[in-house]
Amino acid sequence: MALPQDDFIEVMGRHFEEEGIPRIAGRLFGLLMLGEEPCSLEELADRLHVSKGSVSSNARLLEDWGMAVRVTRAGDRRDFYRIAPDMSSRLIQRQIERIRLFIDRVDRARGKMSPLPAPVAERFDRTAEFNRAVMRSLLGLREELGGETDGRDE
At 147, the pLDDT band (50, 70, 90 cuts) reads low
% of the chain with per-residue pLDDT over 90: 84
Distance separating alpha carbons of residues 110 and 62, to the nearest angstrom: 33
Residue 104 confidence (pLDDT): 97
HSE (side-chain half, CA atoms, 13 Å) at 21: 18
pLDDT of 149 strictly over 60: no
In this prediction, residues 120-148 reach a mean pLDDT of 92
Sequence-separated (6 or more) residues with CB below 8 Å from residue 139:
96, 149, 153, 154
What's the whole-model pTM score?
0.80
What is the signed CA dihedral for 143, 146, 149, 153, rounded to 10 degrees?
Answer: -10
Whats the size of the chain, residue-wise?
154
